[in-house]
Amino acid sequence: MNYRIDNLQYCNWSREIFEINHQAKLDAVHATICYHEDFDELQKNINTWNDYFRKNDDLIFLGKTSKDIEQAQLKNKTAIFYGLQNCSPIEDNIDYVETLKNQGVMFMQLTYNNQSLLATGCYEERDSGITRMGKEVIKEMNRVKMIIDMSHSAEFSTLEAIEISEEPIVVSHANPLFWHKGLRNKSDDILKALNDSGGMIGFSLYPHHLKDASNCSLQSFCQMIAETTKRISIKQIGIGSDLCIRHPDSIVEWMRNGTWTKTKDFGEGSASNAGFPPQPSWFEDARGFDNLEKGLQEVGFSVDETHDILGNNWYNFYRKFD
C-alpha cells in the first residue's frame, strides 16, 4: 500500500481546499492550527475545525494515529493531523501538552521565528538552545507521544532538541541549506543529526525556501532531493509543502508580526515583496504531487522510492507514535 502525505499545509481552509487535496490523492495532511494563539485562542481554532469536519465529512476527518492514514485511504478521504507552529498554546503550563495531545495535536514546534519559552527561533541573533522549561516539555512530549517539530528553530536549538529528545524529531517543512541559503533552511549538521536519530525532513514548496524562488524548476527541486539523500537516508525524507494558498497578504503579515512588535517585520520577504509569493507553476496546489511523482522519477528515483518520498516515509514515521 502506498500513501500520499503532505506534512505541512496552512491553507485558507475551505471545501475548495479539501477538494483539491482529495484530487491530489492526499491520504493525510499535517495542518497548522496555530502560529501565535494562546490556549484559549487555540480552542476557537479547534472549534472551527470541528465545523470543517462536520460540513465536509465526505472529504476529511481528524487523524490521531497512523491507523487513520490507512482508514483515509480505505474511505477515500484525507485525514487531517493537527500541528502547532508555535508553543504559545501551552503558555507556561506543561500540563497543556497532554491536554492538547488528547485534543489531537500531533506536532508542536518548540518555536516559531522568535525566541519562545522553550527554545530559540531562527530569526534571533543569538541561540541559547533548549531552555529549562524546554527540557521539561521535551520529556513530556516524549511521554505523551507528541512529535517535536523544529522547522522554524535556530541551529543549536535544533541540534540540542535532537540530542535531548528520546524520540526522533522532525523538520516538517524546510529545505537543505546547501541548495538555497534561506534563513529557515537546514544545515548539513542538522541533516546528519536527523539521519542518525531517526528523524525526518519534509521538503518545502514555499518559494522563499526554493532556489530561484517562484521560478524554481521541478528538475532543480527533484535534483535537490536526490542530493539530500547523500546526507540523510531516503527513508527519512518526505514532503511538507508549506502551502498557504488562498490567503490574503494580511495573513502573512500577521504570521510575521503577530502582536510582538510595533515595528513591521517582513520575515523572509521585504518591504517591496511583502506578500505571499506566487507558487511555482508545477506546484500551485497539492495536485502538484503528480508533477513531483514524475519529476522524482526523471531524476532517477525508482517507483518505490518515489512513493516513499511522497508519503510512505511519513506513514512509517507516524507509526512510531501510535
- Among 54, 92, 270, 272, which residue sits at the site for its own copies (rule: CB under 8 A)? 92
Cβ atoms 133, 165 nearer than 8 A? no
Residue 139 binds its own copies, judged by CB under 8 A: yes
Which of 78, 141, 156 lies closest to 109, judged by CA? 141
Residues 6 or more apart in contact with residue 270 via CB below 8 angstroms? none
Does 91 contact its own copies by CB under 8 A?
A: yes
Which DSSP string corresponds to 167-209?
S--EE-S--BTTT---TTSB-HHHHHHHHHHT-EEEE---GGG
Residue 143 beta carbon to its own copies: minimum distance, rounded to whole angstroms? 9
What is the three-class DSSP state of 121?
Answer: strand
The interface with its own copies within residues 18-37 (CB under 8 A) comprises 36
Question: Minimum Å distance from CB 119 to its own copies?
Answer: 9
Minimum CB separation from its own copies for residue 265, in Å?
Answer: 8
**CB burial of residue 192 (10 Å; 0-12, 13-18, 19+):** middle
- Please state, in angstroms and rounded to a whole number, the distance separating the CA atoms of residues 84 and 65: 17
**Residue 155 binding its own copies, by CB under 8 A:** no
CA contacts within 13 A on the Cβ side of 126: 1
Residue 99 binds its own copies (CB under 8 A):
no
Question: What Cα–Cα distance (Å) separates residue 188 from each residue in 37, 98, 159, 174, 212?
Answer: 32, 33, 11, 13, 20
Scanning residues 168 to 207, which ones bind its own copies (CB under 8 A)? none
Task: Pick one of 131, 187, 217, 316: the residue that binds its own copies (CB under 8 A).
Answer: 131
Of these, 70, 124, 188, 290, which contacts its own copies (CB under 8 A)? 124
Q: Is 54 in the site for its own copies (CB under 8 A)?
A: no
Total number of residues that touch its own copies (CB under 8 A): 34
Other residues' Cβ atoms within 10 Å of the Cβ of residue 287? 15
In whole angstroms, how close is the CB of 216 to its own copies at the nearest point?
29
Based on the shown chain and the rule CB under 8 A, indicate whether residue 127 belongs to the binding site for its own copies. yes
Instruction: For residue 133, state whether it binds its own copies (rule: CB under 8 A).
Output: yes
267 binds its own copies (CB under 8 A): no
> By the criterion CB under 8 A, which residues form the site for its own copies?
36, 38, 88, 91-95, 114-117, 120, 123-129, 131-134, 136, 139-140, 258-263, 265
